[in-house]
Amino acid sequence: MNCLRRFTAVIAGACFASICLVGCHPQQPLYLTEKGQYQKKFISKATRIDYPDTEVSSTPEVCNSLPPLTLDNPNPANFWDLTLEEAVQMALKNSKVIRTLNGVSFSQAGTNGTPGQLLSSPASVGTVYDPALIESDPRYGVEAALSAFDGQLAAGVNWAKSDVADGGSINSPYSGANFAGNGDRGTFSVGINKTMSTGGRAYVNQGNAYSAPYSAWTTYLEGGFTQPLLQGNGIQFNRIAGPDSGTPGYYNGVAIARISTDTALNDFEMAARNLVADVEKAYWNLYYAYHYLESVKSGRDSAHQTWAQTHTMYTLGAAGGRAQYEAQARNNYFTFRAQTEVAQSNLFKTENTLRYIIGLTSTDGRLIRPVDDPIIAPLKLDWQNIMCESLIRSPELRKQKWDVKKRELELIASKNFLLPRLDFNAGYVWNGAGRDLLNSDNSRSNAFGSMTNGDYASWIMGLNASMPFGWRKELAGVRNAQLNLARSRALLQEQELELTHQLADSFREISLAYQQSRTMLQRRIAADDEVSSVSAAYRVGTTTLDQLLDAQKRQAEAETAYYRSIVDYNLAITTLHYRKGSLLEYNNVALAEGMWPAKAYFDAKRRARERDAGHYLNYGFTRPRVVSRGAYQQFQDNGSITDGSIFSDGESTPVQVPQGEPVIAPPAPATFETPQASIDTVVVEEKISPVSFTTPAVATPVPNRNNRYVR
């Protein structure tokens, strides 16, 4: 007994000690056959970075990209002569996702920055799918708003069995209880209800019921409707707010949904316009990059020739061959050479920017070379015509006008909630009962026969009214709609004012750029004459080397400034068309909807035949007001001049420049070369046709491109 007590005390002490040592921490259980491979069977971290299980094939432009052109790899396989129209067409064709040049800036020094909006904020980039996404939105789209007026079918079949105790003692439920089986009961019902454009609801229901204890059938057929007489009544209100709108401020009718679609189309037009503008900027800046490279190359070659002459004179010990002059000429040469290297790299970068905006691979072995000449003729504009046209054509103003129209419709709908709710309802019911549901021998012994005889019919008719005290929420809704409308109208007026300032700035930019181009032309001519005269004087020893080197620098700067002014003039014209809403027409681009499925055309034709066979119904005072003025005319007037430009017809013959002032047209870029890091390297040229693409077009350029100088 003592041994048992000692053993018990030892066990108790051991248990107490283990509890004190372990504490209250949770413990893992022990298993006899544990293999130690459990870590392979569960995930030890819940927030680790995983890779998504999705695969999207890369485009050929990504997979087939070659190493980029650099100063170490300056030689393209050949040149690709590209027109501006071809560049615009390719950009539109390859733009399911509309790219932008946000983050890229062009200046006289070169191209800075790299496009990055698609990687940093892809949700803000427009696509060709955006209008269709708004149209097909199952919550706020047009089809969603129209679905509120669709008929609804409701049907049901139910069987029930019930056993109810009849009689018996309350204190003892089993003593003397008499259980009565009430048998089965079945119900069958089907109905259709429809919301009408006036806000009313019509319904038709038919139901049958079978009772087993009595072996009897009951049936009914009912029809009726409910029509709001004050609040919620009218086609206009229901098309603005929707038939299910019972709260001020919630408007999701067909008219509001359609305005959302029009706004999405307006955003798509602006995205396409921005794309075309970016293509023009990249194209003309690439044109400038070529000429800038040619200018600094000319200065480099002249500096190299001067250095060679000075070095020869220094070696031979001739007059004017001092070490100071040789070092100065050598320094001037390497200065021009550094500028040439920067210009060469900038040319590759600008060409790559153009490739990006038109949707091509970064490098495919070819170097794009612009072949279109910029505008150098003066552009005379009429301010009043330009301003009036911009107030009509600007997509930003058109978008804001859609918002004004939306607020006007919301104000109309909000005032409807100030009316009391008064609904008229009426219904008629045919009832029937019998041993059979259908029995052709005796119509009075079956339920359907009894119902069709009209022996058991009933009807209902009445008015239901409700209204709040004070109309607090309803008055707040009207005031909110009024403030939204006032805000939208004020924004439209301020946008018009801002647009006039932008147009005025464009007028100044065009005038300045044109005058600068004429001035820079005279500066270029003077610089050429200066270099010729100073070179002749230096050869005979009547001038110093400093003057010759300075003249060569000024010649390169004058030539660069001239081509920069020409490009700025063309970009100023592009900016004017951008701001007045005619840039797409200026580039002969029209936006059009793609083809529908064949079933859609079949249904549309059937509906059109139904309307053609019907009779015109005048809605009277319930007819909704006009919301849209019809399709927007993208091409305003191709046969006449509406902006007061210098051309009096559709031909491409500009007004002659006034006599007495020499004009030097920019040389054709067909003889450009791509220098290597060494001097005087010429790349063989080869003209090839543009590559073809199979991507669906965003917008289709109109054939027979009109004169780009007109508008």
CA 401 to chain CA mean position, Å: 19
Report whether pLDDT(12) > 80.
no
Q: What is the pLDDT of residue 435?
A: 80
Mean pLDDT of the chain: 80
- Mean pLDDT of the 298-308 span: 87
Q: E-strand spans in 138-215?
A: 152-166, 178-195, 201-211
CA 2 to chain CA mean position, Å: 92
8-state DSSP, 127: B
* Kind of pairing between the strands at 456-466 and 421-434: antiparallel
Report whether pLDDT(636) > 70.
yes
Q: Amino acid letter at 15?
A: C
Report whether pLDDT(257) > 80.
yes
Give the tokens for residue 324.
Answer: 């100071």
Q: What is the pLDDT of residue 577?
A: 94
Q: Are 425 and 200 within 8 A, CB to CB?
A: no
pTM, to two decimals: 0.77
Per-domain boundaries in the chain: 62-134+260-403+484-593+637-701, 154-160+181-251+421-466
> Distance between CA 242 and CA 236 in Å, rounded?
9
Give the tokens for residue 27.
Answer: 């413990």
- Cβ-Cβ contacts under 8 Å for 311 (sequence gap 6 or more): 326, 329, 330
62-134+260-403+484-593+637-701 sits in which CATH class? mainly alpha
8-state DSSP, 394: -
- Mean pLDDT of the 50-57 span: 83
pLDDT band at 643 (very low <50, low <70, confident <90, very high): very low
- Burial class of residue 287 in the structure, from the number of CB atoms within 10 Å of its CB (0-12 exposed, 13-18 middle, 19+ buried): buried
User: What tens digit of pLDDT does each residue of 373-420 get?
Assistant: 999 999 888 999 999 999 999 999 999 999 999 999 999 999 999 999
pLDDT band at 692 (very low <50, low <70, confident <90, very high): very low
DSSP string, 291-316: HHHHHHHHHHHHHHHHHHHHHHHHHH
Closest CA to 583 of 394, 425, 421: 394
State the number of CA atoms in the 13 A half-sphere of 55 facing the CB.
Answer: 1
State the number of CA atoms in the 13 A half-sphere of 128 facing the CB.
Answer: 15
- Mean pLDDT of the 197-225 span: 89
Q: E-strand spans in 415-489?
A: 421-434, 456-466
Report whether pLDDT(641) > 70.
no
> Distance between CA 508 and CA 121 in Å, rounded?
35
Q: What is the pLDDT of residue 23?
A: 54
Question: What residues does 57 pair with on adjacent strands?
Answer: none
pLDDT band at 86 (very low <50, low <70, confident <90, very high): very high
Q: Hey, how many other C-beta atoms are within 10 angstroms of the C-beta on 504?
A: 13
User: What tens digit of pLDDT does each residue of 182-201 get?
Assistant: 567 889 999 999 999 889 99
Q: What is the pLDDT of residue 380?
A: 86
Rg (CA), the chain: 42
The backbone region for 113, taken as left when phi is positive above 0, alpha when psi lies in -120 to 50, beta otherwise, is: left
pLDDT band at 17 (very low <50, low <70, confident <90, very high): low
Could you give the 3-state DSSP secondary structure of residue 677? coil
Q: Amino acid letter at 351?
A: E
Report whether pLDDT(556) > 50.
yes
- Mean pLDDT of the 150-167 span: 81
Report whether pLDDT(85) > 60.
yes
